């Protein structure tokens, strides 16, 4: 009579072992399918550490310094989102300059780890602390020409050496290639704080709020760049007291070509009033 319970326990252990083996096989098969569909970035089970210069979240002080419109720091920070095809999932990470500019690092990482059919669509959103230089703009255009299914939207906190004609032309070429370039607004700052910053518990509402006028001045200059107008914004910094000065020098072409709502937002023109 004692042999029956032991036999029953043996069969029970065998069934549990079979179930666990099937379960782990299913998990490995699922991860393999995900990896084939998108590469290592979607491999949730990959034990490999992120490449140098890349990580999921940044610290609050990094976000404050890197994305402050009045801080003219040399370091460039990139926060990015990737969405594949019709999937609802968004994959996020961040990067900084290494020996290359962060835009080049992203392109090299993307092309080395992604092997997908050209018909697969991919939406990429960048949040850059500085706009791309002319060399990075050229590399981005080459990357997009080789990946026609990729769309790119770029939000920038500051304009990198915007008086340089090569940089201005580089941004125009990007726009003409189908890239959307906009200055970051309050909405983008809040989005980045929520999704990319390792803020302490309870500090969700303590995201940086920069004066709207600074953001609009950069937006004004970006419109000048895209429209091929002369520079209207000059930025200087006094090292003694670390003050940043924004100066506007507008010409008639600026008033004629820049959208009216941009001029109204910066206070450069007054809204027209009809009296009855």
Q: Residue 171 and residue 155: Cα distance in Å, rounded?
A: 12
Q: Is 243 helix (H, G, I), strand (E, B) or coil?
A: strand
Which strands, in side-by-side order, build the sheet including 180-183?
Answer: 54-55, 91-96, 77-84, 122-128, 150-156, 180-183
> Parallel, antiparallel, or unpaired for β 91-96 and 233-238?
unpaired
- Distance between CA atoms of residues 109 and 103, nearest Å: 10
Alpha-carbon span 161 to 133, nearest angstrom? 8
Phi, psi angle pair for 186, to nearest 5°: -55, -40
Indicate which residues carry an active-site annotation. Answer: 103
Return d(Cα 274, Cα 276) in angstroms, integer: 7
CA-nearest of 74, 168, 79 to 125 is: 79
- The shares of helix, strand and coil residues in the chain, as percent rounded to the nearest 5, are 45, 15, 40
Per DSSP, 197 falls in state B
Rg, the chain, Cα only: 25
Phi, psi of 91, deg, nearest 5? -105, 125
């Amino acid at each position: 009579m004692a042999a029956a319970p032991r036999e029953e326990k043996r069969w029970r252990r065998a069934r549990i072992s079979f179930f666990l083996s099937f379960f782990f096989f299913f998990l490995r098969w699922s991860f393999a399918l995900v990896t084939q569909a998108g590469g290592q970035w979607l491999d949730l089970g990959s034990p490999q550490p992120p490449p140098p210069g890349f990580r999921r979240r940044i610290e609050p002080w990094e976000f404050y310094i890197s994305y402050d419109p009045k801080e003219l720091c040399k370091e460039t920070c990139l926060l990015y989102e990737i969405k594949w095809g019709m999937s609802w999932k968004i994959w996020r990470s961040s990067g900084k300059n290494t020996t290359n500019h962060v835009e080049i690092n992203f392109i090299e990482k993307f092309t080395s780890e992604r092997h997908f059919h050209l018909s697969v669509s991919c939406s990429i959103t960048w949040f850059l602390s500085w706009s791309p230089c002319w060399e990075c703009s050229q590399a981005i255009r080459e990357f997009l020409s080789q990946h026609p299914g990729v769309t790119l939207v770029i939000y920038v906190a500051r304009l990198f050496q915007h008086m340089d004609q090569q940089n201005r032309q580089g941004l125009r070429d990007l726009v003409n290639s189908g890239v959307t370039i906009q200055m970051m607004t309050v909405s983008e700052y809040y989005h980045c704080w929520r999704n990319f910053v390792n803020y302490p518990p309870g500090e969700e509402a303590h995201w940086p709020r920069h004066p709207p006028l600074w953001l609009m001045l950069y937006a004004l200059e970006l419109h000048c760049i895209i429209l091929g107008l002369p520079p209207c914004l000059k930025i200087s910094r006094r090292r003694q007291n670390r003050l940043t000065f924004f100066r506007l020098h507008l010409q008639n072409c600026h008033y004629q070509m820049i959208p009216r709502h941009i001029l109204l937002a910066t206070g450069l023109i007054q809204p027209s009033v009809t009296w009855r």
